[in-house]
Amino acid sequence: MGLQAELEELQPVVMNLFKRSKRENRLSHGYLFHGPNGVGKKRLALWLAQSLFCLEQTDEVQVCSHCVNCTRIANDNHPDVHWLKPDGASIKIDQVREIRSELMKQGMESNQKVLIIDEADKMTVQSANSLLKFIEEPDAGTLLLFLTTNPAKILPTIASRLQPVAFRELPFEQLVKKLEQVGISQQKARIFASLTGSIQEAKRLNEDEFFQEARNASVKLYEGLHHDGPEPLIFIQETWMPLF
Ligand SMILES: [Zn+2]
């Protein structure tokens, strides 16, 4: 499945918004993508960047995913598309300064430039302020995309200048299907899907040793209580208590 088809299934409302804005030539200069991990924020930012440079787009398919521009952007190798993400625990002022000077230069191959800031809530106040000046006087051709799981942590002075775009959690059955596609058993997929609305979170739970142990212990206790497993009181004392 191509990126565009995948996103249309994952985030239909957001995709409709952007397809309409593009068609009507009314893209805003700055957006705040917010929603849980693993629901398509980064992939949609990639799609949007590609849609501005794709050489083989049609009215229906704005991103072909295989032309030279789509490929370079996907490989983070396009001179007018920049990604900014935390270096360690935060996005530091030096990182922002470097990107700012890149953005102030004339577009390398067009007048269009894109800056995607992943985990934008990790910007230090200093970094955010340094970018603020840039957001207040947007270069006509620069698209700024702020991505976050925690919009409350974005400085109000920045958030107020961006158009918010909410990404929904994945519906239960859709998430179960996606988890099965990456090799998680149906039984586990249903448990993870009931605990989280995101593929990434579910994968993390799947790899979490403590979570696996806790799950096994819960199953054993359940069986014990139904006289089909270990004696519950002994099990609680010997396994349950030390684990939790
Ligand atoms: Zn393309």
Q: How far apart are CA 36 and CA 203, in angstroms?
A: 14
| Residue pLDDT, tens place only, 189-221 | 888 888 887 888 888 888 887 777 787 888 888
Helix intervals (H) in the chain: 3-10, 12-23, 41-53, 68-74, 93-104, 125-136, 156-159, 172-181, 186-195, 199-207, 209-225, 232-235, 241-243
| Residue 15 in this model has a pLDDT that exceeds 90 | yes
> 145: buried, middle or exposed (CB in 10 Å: 19+, 13-18, 0-12)?
buried
Among 45-49, 77-81, 207-211, whose mean pLDDT is lowest?
207-211
The CATH 3.40.50.300 domain(s) of the chain lie at 3-166
Average pLDDT, the chain: 88
Cα(84) to ligand 1 centroid in Å equals 23
Ligand 1 center from residue 61 Cα (angstroms): 9
CATH fold group of domain 3-166: Rossmann fold (3.40.50)
Residues 6+ apart with CB under 8 A from 103: 82, 113, 115, 134, 139, 142
Where is pLDDT greater, at 143 or 219?
A: 143
Report the separation in Å between the CA atom of 129 and the middle of ligand 1, taken as the mean of its atom positions: 35
